[in-house]
Structure 1
Amino acid sequence: MNVMIVEDEYLIAMDLQSIAEGEGHRSVGPLSTMEQALAYAPKADIALVDLRLADGPTGPALGRKLIDRFGLEVIYITGMPEKLGPGIEGACDVVTKPFTPEQVSKALARASRRRERRRDRIRIFQ
């Protein structure tokens, strides 16, 4: 799977990239703004999205767009899960910072399974 990493903290982005690639995924990014993420969204299957990006608290709105417009599986990575609010419907998971590699790996595995099930349903209807 192609995993888009949307995180403005460089070291955290590198950790997420390392975890995703260690699980056999290809990384898209890291990206640090909503504009960058939307530009690269067609190349991704899954998105790891922080709530506060370089352009402000745009993560929740970005996640919604990635789900609705591009059909991505969104995993929020945040130190402030209480800030997600009701707008997270459709998100695959929320991983709270500080995270462990195992937490991110499990969330990626769930997102991958969910993505594959959706692809299988689409194939049935074609």
Structure 2
Amino acid sequence: MACKILVVEDEIFVATEIEYVVSELGHKPVGIAADKASAFHLAPLADIALVDLNLRDGATGTEIGRLLAEQHGITVLFMTANPSQLGDGVPGTVGVLAKPVGEDELIQAVNYVVAKRHALEAEAPARMMLFS
């Protein structure tokens, strides 16, 4: 059940750590997008996107996540230090995990999103806020 996962994150060290964990879990990282243009360039390659809110081109993450879900059918999980920016959530997306995120929590979050992508039951990390 390997998935192709896009990392939308402008902090390169954070992004490469996420990619490392994704690949260690047996999934295929399709790239790192630091802004809206690169996210949409890589979107056709992805099944899942892990999306930060504040990127190189500003607070575009909310819109990126919504459009990736709506227009590309990508399963989206937001990962941000500012989860309150999402209010009650973004339609079509899974939820948000507050940063900083430890490796164990990241593994659990990726496993959860992969399970959701395949319509399977899974337990979300305790700090993950799920959207309805």
Which 5+ residue runs of structure 1 have no aligned equivalent? 119-126
**Superposition pairs for residues 1-126 of structure 1, below 5 Å?**
1-117=3-119
* RMSD (Å) for aligned C-alpha atoms: 1.4
1:16-75 superposed Cα distances (whole Å, 9 cap, x missing partner): 111111111110111101111111111000001000010100000000000100111111
**Percent identity of the aligned residues?**
35
Computing the radius of gyration over CA atoms, which structure comes out larger, 1 or 2?
1
TM-score (normalised: structure 1) = 0.88
Return the offset for 1:89: 2.4
Q: Is the 8 A contact 1:80 1:96 kept in 2?
A: yes
Structure (1 or 2) with the greater helix fraction = 1
- Give the aligned partner of residue 129 of structure 2: none
Q: Is the 8 A contact 1:49 1:74 kept in 2?
A: yes
Q: Is the 8 A contact 1:2 1:43 kept in 2?
A: yes
SS of match in other structure, 2:118: helix
Moved over 2 A (4+): none
Aligned length: 118
